[in-house]
Amino acid sequence: MPKFGPIRRRDLVTCLRKLGFEGPYSGGRHEFMRKAGLVLTIPNPHRGDIGPKLLAILLRQAGIPRKEWERV
């Protein structure tokens, strides 16, 4: 179960798949994932982890409450 905090991109994708998202698919400059008409742009791979601020933004856009995220 991931804590709400820094997370590797690979772990983010894995957790989003567990929550019903499909992908990632190639987009313009960023990849994206889909779930029932919702399209979520995910960050490109980079050297560091995805920080808590960016994670909060992604979860808000995906409509995933923090408690549900921590249960995955």
Q: Mind listing the pLDDT tens digit for each residue in 35-64? A: 999 999 999 988 889 999 999 999 999 999
CATH number, domain of 61, equals 3.30.920.30
Whether 42 is covered by a domain: the verdict is: yes
Say if 3 falls within a structural domain: no
Q: Tell me, yes or no, whether 21 lies in a domain.
A: yes
Is pLDDT at 4 greater than 90 in this prediction? Answer: no
Residue 21 has pLDDT above 60, yes or no: yes
Q: Is residue 23 part of a domain?
A: yes
**Contact criterion met (CB below 8 Å) for 49 and 29:** no
Q: Is residue 14 part of a domain?
A: yes
Provide the number of structural domains found in the chain. 1
pTM to 2 decimal places: 0.89
- Residue 61: give the domain boundaries: 9-71
Residue 17 in domain: yes
Give domain status of residue 15, yes or no: yes
